Structure 1
């Protein structure tokens, strides 16, 4: 708990908000639309919804893809290669202004997903997701915690698996690696499908 509190303090103290031009971002997003949809809502559940995501979080992820170290993708890394910081800020400003996706949670995942999201799992030492991502899955922009509400479950499962394996890094103090490392497949599925319909 102290680690989370310190992280929140540190992020709030150091994080500067991105200042991009959403109109310029809309133009630049025409390339992104092929995978992420014209307004940042993807039709492919393996590709993330970007609409309504925190601008600073989007910029951080774009930088990671550009560097190809903390996050690497044969699709994203080449796309990011020629982007400037201004391009990233413009894209982020456009996507953060778009309405989030409104997905639904399959009935069988509502109860187990809610229990894990809101209460964690004491026996497995899984921290409740609500601590960082909030009661409605809207995250915390100042602290750098992303919006998870309305995100594709399959994408979220892939990311939890990537955190668990160490393929994805870059989260503060490896918090997501520590949490995902304690989660089984059923845990990942339950919380991911729950989040897709959490509004």
Structure 2
């Protein structure tokens, strides 16, 4: 019963922490974002920049707030969000949520292990199924501000999993991602990242 109470508390907090944005206004506010993340949110420049297209609005908005507050440490993004208002952040998040992500073929060598970890986790090492929070198709969970992962750049995903594992990224609720990433090997991270690029 306590587990359910904690989950509902997290869901409640996440859903009240963000506002509903305007995608049309968000497109205008996101003009500068296109330089790194692409006009359609599919990041044409560098594979270690995240794709933002199709990202859950609540998740994206939370990340923008975390960059601004310093809870998520990134000098480049801190500078980009410094002058954004709460309304701007909600609108930008709504804009990227309205776009379609691009997916890619999954290299055959990652399919079996990646799918197993994503859908079932690893009981032996206590790794839960990614699908439990991020959904069977990798679309995330808006009410809890859980990220959409389907189609995400594998290099970016690996970088973030390693950051959670070593503690350089620590803006996850109740250490959820840090605790999970601590149990993942480099090989498992790679398999998951390349499996999720085609997940939809």
* Segment of structure 1 superposing worse, 70-79 or 7-16: 7-16
C-alpha separation in 2, matches of 1:57 and 1:167: 19
The equivalent of 2:62 in structure 1 is 60
* Segment of structure 1 superposing worse, 100-109 or 26-35: 100-109
RMSD across aligned positions (CA): 1.6
TM-score normalised by L of structure 2: 0.93
* Structure 2 CA distance for partners of 1:108 and 1:163, relative to 1, 3 Å: same
**TM superposition shift of 1:18:** 2.4
**TM superposition shift of 1:56:** 1.1
Q: 1:90-110: CA deviations, max 9, x gaps?
A: 111111111122222111101
TM-score normalised by L of structure 1: 0.93
* Structure 2 CA distance for partners of 1:6 and 1:137, relative to 1, 3 Å: farther
* Structure 2 CA distance for partners of 1:171 and 1:6, relative to 1, 3 Å: farther
Higher helix share: 2
**TM superposition shift of 1:187:** 0.6
Gapped regions of structure 2 (runs ≥ 5): none
The equivalent of 1:184 in structure 2 is 185
From 43, 46, 49, the equivalent of 1:47 is 49
Tell me if structure 2 keeps the 8 A contact 1:36–1:49. Answer: yes
Spell out structure 1 runs of 4+ moving beyond 3 A. 5-8
